[in-house]
């Protein structure tokens, strides 16, 4: 069944079909939210809120862009709203997020193969980038979205996305040296 058919079924009242969309998009949604929020629990909350928004507003989706682009824009905006709430409340969690101490657990196994180690180094380097640049790099290189799609998701111009990619590549090069 195609994505469009699944969306039509959901709109007709078949809520069980929504599980397909959740399975399809939850991993990347968590990645985007985590890159913004820097905290797994906050990211999971933001993604859950985004899925709720999508479920209740699916009737507003227009097929002029890919569903994933529309959905990831909702995830992005929901995560930004969440971080704005954190900052307005002045929570200490925000200080932890912005201090750069949001490192993933390093698995210290005796026999880590070269590919895993390289992937780990790249992810660590991406975490050191400013949040917007990390999201652009993730969407462009890991999820293979086009500059146009990223500009739509993040509400940026194509030129801004290209500039962010250029700056991020330069920073990653310096970090990984």
Asked if 81 and 27 sit in the same domain, the reply is yes
Evaluate if residue 5 carries a pLDDT over 80. Answer: yes
Asked if 57 and 23 sit in the same domain, the reply is yes
Asked if 36 and 123 sit in the same domain, the reply is no
For residue 107, what pLDDT band results from cuts at 50, 70 and 90? very low
* Structure confidence at residue 39 (pLDDT): 86
**Average pLDDT of 74-84?**
87
Mean pLDDT of the chain: 81
pTM summary value: 0.65
* Structure confidence at residue 165 (pLDDT): 93
Residue ranges making up the domain that contains 120: 109-177
Asked if 78 and 137 sit in the same domain, the reply is no
Rounded-to-5 percentages of helix, strand, coil across the chain: 75, 0, 25
Asked if 140 and 169 sit in the same domain, the reply is yes
What CATH number corresponds to the domain at position 166?
A: 1.10.10.10
Report the domain count for the chain: 2
CA pair distance 96, 87, nearest whole angstrom: 11
* Structure confidence at residue 156 (pLDDT): 92
Asked if 34 and 88 sit in the same domain, the reply is yes
Q: What confidence tens digit (pLDDT) does each residue in 44-62 have?
A: 999 999 999 999 899 898 8
Of 76, 41, 84, nearest to 155 (Cα)? Answer: 76
Which run of H or of E encompasses 43?
A: helix 40-57
Evaluate if residue 120 carries a pLDDT over 60. Answer: yes
């Amino acid at each position: 069944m195609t994505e469009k058919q699944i969306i039509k079924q959901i709109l007709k009242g078949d809520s069980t079909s929504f599980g397909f969309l959740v399975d399809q998009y939850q991993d990347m949604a968590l990645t985007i939210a985590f890159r913004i929020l820097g905290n797994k629990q906050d990211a999971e909350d933001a993604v859950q809120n985004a899925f709720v928004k999508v479920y209740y507003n699916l009737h507003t989706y227009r097929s002029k862009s890919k569903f994933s682009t529309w959905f990831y824009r909702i995830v992005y905006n929901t995560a930004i709203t969440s971080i704005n709430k954190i900052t307005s409340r002045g929570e200490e969690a925000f200080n932890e997020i912005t201090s750069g101490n949001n490192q993933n657990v390093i698995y210290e196994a005796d026999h880590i193969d070269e590919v895993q180690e390289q992937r780990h180094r790249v992810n660590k380097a991406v975490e050191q980038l400013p949040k917007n640049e990390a999201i652009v790099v993730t969407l462009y290189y890991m999820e293979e979205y086009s500059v146009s799609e990223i500009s739509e998701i993040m509400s940026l111009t194509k030129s801004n996305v290209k500039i962010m990619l250029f700056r991020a590549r330069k920073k990653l090069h310096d970090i990984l040296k």
